[in-house]
Structure 1
Amino acid sequence: MSYQKRRSQKVPVDLKNNMKIEDYFPQVPKEQQNCSSTSQVKVRSRKKPRDITNTQDRGCSFPTKTPEDQTVPLKKTIYVTLNVNHRKNQNMQNVLTYSERASLYEALHTLDAVREEVKTQQGKEMLVCGKERIEGFLNLGMPLSCFPDGSCVEITFSKRVSEQKEDNQVCGRRDWTSTDCVKFYIHAVGKTRKRIVKCGELHKKGNKLCVFGLKGETIKDALCKDGRFLSFLETDCWKLIGKLTSHVESSQEVDAMEGKLYQLEAEKRSSTRVAATATGTQNWELEEHKAYVLQEYIVREYPSLNRERERIRENLKKEMKIRKVNQSSLVKLHRTDFGKQTKNSTPVKTLKLLSQLSDSVGFLRWDNNGSVGCATCFVFTGPFVLTCLHVVHHIVGKGAEQEKWADIIGKCVRVTFTYEEFATKDDNCFLVEPWFEISDVTLDYAVLKLRENGQQVPAGLYNGIAPTPSSGLIYIIGHPEGERKSTDACVVIPQSEREQACARNVRKAMPDSDPEFVHMYTQNSFQKILHNPDVVTYDTTFYWGSSGSPVFDSHGSLVAMHTAGITVAYLGATSHFIEFGSALRPILSDIMEKRKDWYEKECVNQQDVEMLSQED
């Protein structure tokens, strides 16, 4: 029987009437009732048998006593905190002592506070996260034998998305008959394919899932039976990546995995496969009505599109019938702060020059009270580094008052310049001063200041103003996807050819769509880039994590800073239309206007000062 079929089976309706309290708590022989041994516990016969109806409703059934179990199992004690705003004394710990052969789900539901909260939070999923002695978001089907005694866990509740079905609950696997388990951890965000979990609340950088498997079981079986991962794990090829980029195949057994942390790397599905999975029994009349509502909204927002009303309607209907998907997933274009793959032969002389320049490119990472991330920066001059302003926004988080940004940056940011093969330890990193005085939203740049720690700051890359290239080759050095330092050679897209390049890439990504039709949806996103002389446009493979990378011309002169790109989410696949960087010349002009004293002190090229002053 396949795993999918086993997962969808329901517990028989009369289980509640057939199962007795002895099935949960094996009776202690009379001769052992007065035993004081700590390995045995007494059964409290006065307690009313626990109602297991809630367990059946959640799709979770758990192993009962086997005939050979004649002794009461050991108990485990864990501490449970309910993190819900409306509950009085929400941070008060509840002490839970229960049989180690029981599941976490079964044990939690013996607490009155948990049962009451589950009733209050109907329609939501219970998420349990380890806080002390055990880590990560826990599978509710995990036996208590996997928990170190005295573990602390925290319960929150997540909104259940509409596409989650009854057999896709977070309680996960329930097929274990032995407590001889191995637990290991998986990053909630995948490497090549980012979305790997069903619950949107879990899909965040920094989150990790605690997974358990039975000894002798394969890694693939353990993750597929877990219940929290997407179904592509059952059919697609994937593997786990541990420290030092070591790979573990999914066919290996879990026996040696105890306590280890991995990231899942899976092959990306093509748009054809995504379209195939999107088909099914759908109400097309309802979908056409949704398309009509969308069209009416667009026409109201953009009166100039009235003449295109019928054309938009016909195109939407045509695309929906051909693709057999709903309108909400048909076209989603937007600016992405951090695709093309371009390969160019590079002269050895240029490679040597780029190697020297790369010494000044830094890996910037932050941990702001659990909010972690990474980007790229580079030494501009002296102890000052340049990166993107949107990176600073990610660092400080939403809602932070701007006067507090400097302190936040000084506390949580680290920069290393030696991440070329393996990540560098903190003792080899530069801290950042609580200093934030120079930045701009339009040009998306920010200047940060490294804190002296006895290490030699690499040489600054600013060495005078070089012309902004309008064609030819450029080179980007950075840390795409937060990986080791690398270089990408790119072809500059001239300003006069940007619109044609976008249209060409639209046709590649969406071969059955009308580029003009797509362009109407993305007017603002495109116009800001297509006719902006303050950016350099190109095709690159550098996306997330590479914001803030320096851009050099073929002579090794700093000409821009890699900033962002325009992407399209179409039928579940993401394509990249065009990438761009803020040119160095307008950045310097902006610094001159805002902080001329700082520029004249730190940027010693007086000729450039006069040049920028004349331009202003």
Structure 2
Amino acid sequence: MMERMDNICKSEVKEGPSKSHMQQCKEGQSHTFNFQYKGKKYAVTCDTSKTVLDALYTNDCFKDFKEDNMEKEIVIRRSKGEVPRAAVKTDFPCCLIEKDELLDITFIKNTGHVDTKKKTTDRLSFSNGSENLVIFYIKTKGGEKVKRLMKNNELRNEVDDVCVYAFKDDKLKAALRRDGRFIDVIFKKQCALREFGSDINHEMSNTVEHLDRKYFEIIVISDKNQLDSQDDDLCDVSTEMNEASAADLKESVDPNQHPIKTEQEETKNRNPMKSTKTSAKYSKIIDSKEILGILRSQFKDLLETLKQRENLKNKSEVQTFLRAEYDKSVQSFLEVKKVKQLMRLSECVCQIRVEESARGTGFLLFDRFILTNAHVIGEFDPFSWNLSKTFTAVFGYEDLEANETKCVPIKEQIAAYYYGKDNMDRYLDFALLEMKVTDEIVNCPGLLSRYVPGPPPNRGKICIVGHPEEGVKKMDPCFIIGRENRLEAADKHISENIEFIHVMRQQFLAEKWEMHDNQFNYDSCFFHGSSGSPVFDEDCYLIGMHTGGYVYPGENGRTRSIIEYSYSMQPILERIITQAKNSGKSDTLKLLSEYKSLNLYLENNDVDMEIDPQNQEDCR
């Protein structure tokens, strides 16, 4: 994970259009460029594999400028190139910026149609092979029959031209959509690029490989609206929302053109064989066009990922696979029997509170012993193993009214504990706590009865039960991300949140992110407060303990995570048994010996001297 994140944090981009640029992007060489803001100039030294915004964020002065203009859209204009003063997007590759080039930085009013925070970098994959880049220039005022072209009118008033980058095998439509600055009407009308100094028109379905370094205006070549099709969506992918409003569409095209059809008319055109007569009544979905655009923009990448992962070659194989997977997914955790079983098992889950404040999650493992994460309990006396604060296990916290909760005090001394790597290079993060009350607390014998020894799973469906965000008990069904797909999942998250890559890098370096053999990964909505939650497989067997994720502060300081993980149960139980033997806790060992799955056979004076639990080395 460390080596991979180091590469990821360099924000690799594809090969450039020239040999020197291609070499730079490939090797991630260091170079310099300058920027000016309000007449003052600043130098930036960066890795050529970064985006322009990522490089600018290495400059402390720029960070201050950006913070002062958080609600505004940034405009970055080049001083060199075939069309000087053309504005580039924030995700423009640094390897396309010439050495010592001066970028002019200004901020303009954001009209609300342009997303100033989420950058489109879906093709800037951090793990795929390199592709050649091209750049071309487009006039912001538009050509024939086009009154408005840019989503943000302020941008049209501020700059005359924009510089667009793309990959050679991109279609023009996909490249402009990914750029995100153009209104959606150009994708609905039959528009084209007309090259200045020529009568040649380049249609949206053409690839961009022959457009490199050329200068265009966008024109409307036909009054007819284009019909949406699934094939279009497979070929033309955008990670930006389709944000043009109805007003945009009306304002964008000359009134002499035919009016743009309504959503109902478009639906009718897409389904010419479907009867308009129906007995069912449907209500309009709010923001349906925007939602449809988001779903379509994600479809191609998801489809390609699926085809690569499952080795599918054509549409029929994809359809067959999706039908089979759908059948499996609807069965998972939806069978009444499984739901009831999870409900019973969830009674063993409790919220861990420290002096009345929620700290994390735990679960009744066996008898009167609760398992949680070591980082949940924090610091304690390393010599006596006594907790420094008062801990309580709260069962049944499923409603904010909290009428049915049972608050059980926890003994001062820790029963078992490990935080760090063990002598087998496995990472452990657990604390076994003993409750003071010995009477029956919950209608559950403990989740150890639902444990079967085995290595951490690599595929399948799981369900986490815990108290995320320090709130009431919740469940989160999700899918395990296989070891072979971890990097791909991390790449996807980073590419979708590229504006925070500098934050991710800082967290990576500070916390020394690693992946371990005894953990399994997934995408979960469980963050703070859910550490220590039990993780069940699709047959409701206990397989791990949810521990955390590779987290960083995202937008507005909200916690985000690249990927989440659990540690498997087997190493945890092995360490608990070892520490119980070393400390001579015969009562604990006797309780554990009742679980046949542990294969625990005790003999007189059976003491494993591998690690003394009172040794401070065991309390890392």
Q: Per the shorter chain, which TM-score range? A: 0.3 to 0.5
Q: What TM-score do the two structures reach when normalised by structure 1?
A: 0.41
Q: What TM-score do the two structures reach when normalised by structure 2?
A: 0.41
